Structure 1
Amino acid sequence: MDTRQLKTLIAISTHGTFARAADIVGLTPSAVSQQVHALEQELNTSLFERSSRPPKLTPNGLQVLEMAKDILRLEDDTKASLKGDRISGTLMLGSVRSSALNLLPQAIVKMRSLFPDLKTNLRVSLSSILIADVAAGRLDAAVVAEHVGFPSALRWSPFLREPLWLIAPKGTEGADPIALLNSRPYVRFRSAVPLANMIDTEISRLGVVPNDVAEIDTVGAIVTCVRQGMGISVVPHVALQEVEDQDLLKLPFGHPQITRQIGIVERTVAPRTEIIAQMHEVLAGFCGEYGVERELTP
C-alpha cells in the first residue's frame, strides 16, 4: 500500500468513476483499475461493488477511504513539519450547528490571511459526535458548547461567554421579562442541545408557563420569527448581529441574567496546539466584549 494508491482511491470516491479519477491523478483507466486491484489484494478485501454503475464503495471500502484521508493528511503535516513550516497542512475542524457557527467562517478567513499555507476542513455535526472525533484524532478541534463529562484526554477552552436575551418584536411595550413571558405568544427553541435545555430550565425556575405558538430548532429562524411579529423568544447575544435586530426589544433573561459558553475542544497532547491557540484568539476577538482569553496551561 502506498500513497499513490490511496490518492487514487480518494479520487474515485470524489469524482464517481474510474475514468474521471484517471484524469485527476494522471493515469489511464486501466492503471487506475490495476492500483485498486493491487490494494484490494494487499488488504484481502473488496473495496468496490463493481456490479453497480458507477461503482460504489463497500463498507470495508468506506473504512479504507477514511484511513486513506487520515494517512495523506498525516503525510502532508509531517512534510510541513520537517521543512520547518509548522503552520501549514490541513486543520480539521468541527462545529455544532448553532448561532456560534456564524463566527467560524470569519475566523477561517482570518486564519487563511495569517497562514496562507494552512488549509481548513470544516464538518458540522452533533456535539457528542464531534467530541468523539476529536478524541479519536479524526478532528484536530471542534467548537462546542460547555459540556458535561469531557474525557480526560481532551481540553475545552471557552472563547465566548455571552448573555441570553428575551427578545420581542419592534414596538413591544414592557420592561418585565416574566410579564412578557406570561402574556405574549412564545416561540420555543426545541432542540437536543444544552442551550435549549438551559432556557427551558430557567423558564421553569421562574414559574412561567409560556403560550407556545411554535417550536423551532434553529436560533436564526427564531430571530426571524420574532422580527416578523410572530411572538417573543429567548436567544443568545451572538444571534443578534443583523442591523434589523437593533429594533427588537431586548431584555435580560433570567435572574440573575443567564449566560452560556462556547469553546474549542482539543486533545491535551496534539501536534496542532499552536494553531488551535491562534484560532481561539481569533474567535475570541470576533466575540468583542464577550470574548474569553485562553487560559495558559502549565
Structure 2
Amino acid sequence: MDIRKMESLVAIADHGSFTKAAKAVNLTQSAVSQQVHELENLLGVPLFSRDSRPPKLTRHGQAYVETARAMLALHRTFLETHCRSEVKGTLVVGTVRSALTGVLPRALRTLKQSFPNLSLRLINSGRLSNDLTQDVRNGQLDAALIVGPPAADDELVWRAYAMERFFVIAPADAPGTTDADLLSAGPYLRFIPNLPIERRIDREIEKRNLAIVPEMELDTFESILLMVSAGLGTGVVPELYIREAARDRIRAVPFGDASFYRELGVVTLRRGKKMALVEALLSALVQPAAR
C-alpha cells in the first residue's frame, strides 16, 4: 500500500476538502483526486460520496480513514524504533533555487529532530536541474532536489515530493478575471525557459492563440515576481513564488487547467551507498504539513 495515498486520504478527512488536503500534502488537487480514485479501485468500495460538494466520506471511507491512521502510526513507530539510529552520516545534496523555498525548511527541521546522527550538506549552486542530475550520476552529489522528472535513466531513481500549479500574476489593478485576460492586458514578461516544463508555457500560450508580445525576457521567476510587483507587466510563475508575495501588489490566477503543473523531486543513484539517508530526506519532504 502506498503510504502517500493514505496520507492524502487522512489529510482530506482532517481538513474537510480536497483543496486544503492538497496543500497539506504538497500535491495538486488533481493528484490527490487521482490517489483517492486509485485507493477506491484497490479496495473495491467508494470512499467518498460524489453527490455532495465537497464530497463526503462514505461509511467505508470513514472506516478506512481510521485504518489508514493506524497504519501510518505503525509506520512512524517502525521508523523511530528501527531506523533512527541507523540513519547517520553526511548526505551531500544539490538544490535548484526553487527547492530552497516551500517545504524544504520544514523538512530539514524534521530531519534534525528525527535523525540526530544525520548531517546534511546542502549545496545551492544556482545550477540547472540537468546539471545537478549529471553531478548525481558522476557521484559528486548523493542526491539533488530538482524540477523533473529527469530523462529516463536506469542508473537513477526519481521520487516526486511536491506538485505545483503555474499562475499568471499581474499588478493588483490589472483588468480582467481570467488567465487569458491578465496575459493580454500585458505587457508580457516572458521567462526564458531552460526546462521542458517551462517551455510548455510558451506552447500553451501559442495553442490558445493569445496575441502576446514579450516586453521583457527574464531568466528567473524571482525577477518576474519583482517586476510584476512593481507594476511593470504580467507573467507566469510556479505557485511557490506567490505564496509569500505581497498580495496587495499582485493578482494571481491559475494558468491553464489542472493538468498544467510541475514536479519537484529528489533524484539519486539507484545503487547509491546512502539510500537510507536519501529515504530519510524524502520521508521528511513528503510528510504532511502540520495543521
- Give TM-score, length-normalised by structure 2: 0.63
Within a 5 Å distance, the mapping from 1:87-166 to structure 2 comes to 87-97=87-97, 99-103=98-102, 104-123=104-123, 124=125, 125-166=127-168
User: Compared with structure 1, are the counterparts of its residues 286 and 200 closer, same or farther at alpha carbon in structure 2 (3 Å cutoff)?
Assistant: farther
The answer on whether the counterparts of 2:165 and 2:258 sit within 8 Å (CA) in structure 1 is no
The answer on whether the counterparts of 1:141 and 1:276 sit within 8 Å (CA) in structure 2 is yes
Equivalent residue in structure 1 for 2:242, among 237, 240, 243: 240
Structure 2 CA distance for aligned equivalents of residues 204 and 287 of structure 1: 37
Q: What whole-Å deviation, never above 9, does each CA across 1:119-160 have from its counterpart, x for those lacking one?
A: 222223222222122123221111112245232111111111
User: Compared with structure 1, are the counterparts of its residues 250 and 235 closer, same or farther at alpha carbon in structure 2 (3 Å cutoff)?
Assistant: same
Structure 1 CA distance for aligned equivalents of residues 96 and 135 of structure 2: 13
Structure 1 CA distance for aligned equivalents of residues 276 and 175 of structure 2: 49
User: Compared with structure 1, are the counterparts of its residues 129 and 230 closer, same or farther at alpha carbon in structure 2 (3 Å cutoff)?
Assistant: same
Equivalent residue in structure 2 for 1:249, among 227, 240, 251: 251
Given residue 169 of structure 2, which amino acid in structure 1 is its aligned partner?
Answer: I
The answer on whether the counterparts of 1:94 and 1:130 sit within 8 Å (CA) in structure 2 is yes
SS at match of 1:116: coil
- Residue 263 of structure 1: CA displacement? 0.8
- Residue 287 of structure 1: CA displacement? 7.1
Structure 1 CA distance for aligned equivalents of residues 158 and 88 of structure 2: 23
Structure 2 CA distance for aligned equivalents of residues 120 and 150 of structure 1: 27
Structure 2 CA distance for aligned equivalents of residues 237 and 179 of structure 1: 19
- Residue 232 of structure 1: CA displacement? 0.7
Structure 2 CA distance for aligned equivalents of residues 288 and 224 of structure 1: 30
- Residue 275 of structure 1: CA displacement? 2.4
Q: Which runs of 4+ in 1 moved over 3 A?
A: 103-106, 285-289
Q: What whole-Å deviation, never above 9, does each CA across 1:145-193 have from its counterpart, x for those lacking one?
A: 2245232111111111111111111132311222332232111111422
The answer on whether the counterparts of 2:149 and 2:263 sit within 8 Å (CA) in structure 1 is no
- Residue 90 of structure 1: CA displacement? 0.8
Structure 2 CA distance for aligned equivalents of residues 166 and 219 of structure 1: 12
- Residue 245 of structure 1: CA displacement? 3.2
Given residue 156 of structure 1, which amino acid in structure 2 is its aligned partner?
Answer: W
Over the aligned positions, Cα root-mean-square deviation in angstroms equals 2.5
Given residue 229 of structure 1, which amino acid in structure 2 is its aligned partner?
Answer: G
Q: What whole-Å deviation, never above 9, does each CA across 1:215-253 have from its counterpart, x for those lacking one?
A: 111112211211121111111111112151365222121
The answer on whether the counterparts of 1:93 and 1:139 sit within 8 Å (CA) in structure 2 is yes
Structure 2 CA distance for aligned equivalents of residues 237 and 288 of structure 1: 20
Structure 2: runs of 5+ lacking an equivalent: 1-83
Structure 1 CA distance for aligned equivalents of residues 290 and 255 of structure 2: 20
SS at match of 1:244: coil
Q: Which is higher, the Rg of structure 1 or of structure 2?
A: 1
SS at match of 1:208: coil
The answer on whether the counterparts of 1:182 and 1:211 sit within 8 Å (CA) in structure 2 is no
The answer on whether the counterparts of 2:164 and 2:262 sit within 8 Å (CA) in structure 1 is yes
Q: Percent identity?
A: 30
Given residue 202 of structure 2, which amino acid in structure 1 is its aligned partner?
Answer: D
Given residue 151 of structure 2, which amino acid in structure 1 is its aligned partner?
Answer: G
Structure 2 CA distance for aligned equivalents of residues 250 and 212 of structure 1: 19
- Residue 118 of structure 1: CA displacement? 1.8
The answer on whether the counterparts of 1:165 and 1:236 sit within 8 Å (CA) in structure 2 is yes
The answer on whether the counterparts of 1:165 and 1:235 sit within 8 Å (CA) in structure 2 is yes
Structure 1: runs of 5+ lacking an equivalent: 1-83, 290-298
The answer on whether the counterparts of 2:92 and 2:142 sit within 8 Å (CA) in structure 1 is yes
